[in-house]
Amino acid sequence: CAVKEEDKTTEIFELTEDGRLAAVEWIRQQYESRLDYWEAAPSIKDAVPIVHE
């Protein structure tokens, strides 16, 4: 299932320890600011595995 471009949220961080910490904080803020979205999302436990042959 592909995600539409308009539904994507992105940010760019430096490849440094400060950039890593900033990325962690950004992800936390994204999660907290959209908690309703994440709580309504289907559980990964309900996903159907893809079998590659």
Instruction: State both tokens at 22.
Output: 């900033």
Domain with 24, as residue range(s), is 14-38
| Tens-digit pLDDT profile for residues 6-39 | 888 999 999 999 999 999 999 999 999 999 988 9
Q: What is the residue whose two structure tokens read 């904080």?
A: 25
Is residue 27 domain-resident? Answer: yes
pTM of the predicted model as reported, rounded to 2 decimal places: 0.66
Alpha helices in the chain (DSSP H): 17-33, 35-40
Among candidates 2, 26, 6, 4, which has minimal Cα distance to 14? 26
- Number of domains composing the chain: 1
Is residue 52 domain-resident? Answer: no
Phi, psi torsion values for 50, nearest 5 degrees: -95, 125
pLDDT at 34: 92
Q: Is the dihedral of CA 45, 37, 32, 10 positive or negative?
A: positive
